[in-house]
Amino acid sequence: MMAELMKEQIKQLDNKSAEECLGLAEKLEDDKDRFACYHRAAELGNPQGQYKTGFYYWNGFGVEADRTKSIEWYIKAARQKHREALYVLSRAINYSELQDDAVESLVKSEYLRAQIVLADRHYDGGNYTESFYWFEKAAQHQNVTRILESPEEFEQFGSVADLEKRLKMFEDLAELGNGEKAEKYPKSTILACDWLANYYETQKQDEKKAEFYRNQAEEIRKSTLVE
């Protein structure tokens, strides 16, 4: 009797609110029926429904797996600051090929990981002005310094997986600190110098180069008044 009642309610999803659809989904056991409820809530603009729809598409629960559609729904939820969707997308940015427009939609939400990925992609494409612009944006985030604590951690964080490329990017950024452009990219040049100092000290045991970059970071801090 209860099962029949639930089935009847599923047929009436078009007449239900997003909250009602989410509540109904929690009472159902069949993945196909639950997906129908989440999808309806998602269509109504509910971020939890959008996140769940993305989750079901990603895993093929109650619907044929489609990771392109999954990412699309995750992005919609992320635009509404849905925390789980933002977390999932951060891993998607790390480990899969998100299209540039998907990354850029996250960038507009001031999303740190997307800003770094976009900076990396511009750098790989030879567009250094755009690359450094987005890295400077990323450098405004307080927790970016935590990610820069070790070269290995940062290497895995961005889309430039090759350590040699990462070194070249940061050396190019650090070189800006020798001229007037340090005022244009102050935080990112300081972060680059700090990263390089740490790299040469801990990974290469080259104290001379480490000291060089430490001193350069300190000079940029003094000249630009950046903490």
Write the secondary structure of 62-121 as one string of H (helix), E (strand) and C (coil): CCCCCHHHHHHHHHHHHHCCCHHHHHHHHHHHHHCCCCHHHHHHHHCCCCHHHHHHHHHH
Do 157 and 209 lie in a common domain? yes
Question: CATH number, domain at 29?
Answer: 1.25.40.10
pLDDT at 158 over 50: no
Domain membership of residue 73 (yes or no) is yes
Lookup result for tokens 């919609």: 76
User: What range does the domain containing 79 cover?
Assistant: 16-96
The closest of 198, 116, 185, 207 to 149, measured between CA atoms, is 198
Do 137 and 211 lie in a common domain? yes
Total domains present in the chain: 2
Q: pLDDT, tens digit, for every residue of 182-221?
A: 678 889 899 899 989 988 998 899 999 999 999 999 988 8
Do 216 and 133 lie in a common domain? yes
Domain membership of residue 5 (yes or no) is no
pLDDT at 25: 94
Do 137 and 209 lie in a common domain? yes
Domain membership of residue 186 (yes or no) is yes
pLDDT at 97: 60
Q: pLDDT, tens digit, for every residue of 10-39?
A: 778 888 999 999 999 999 999 999 999 999
Alpha carbon 131 to its chain's center: 16
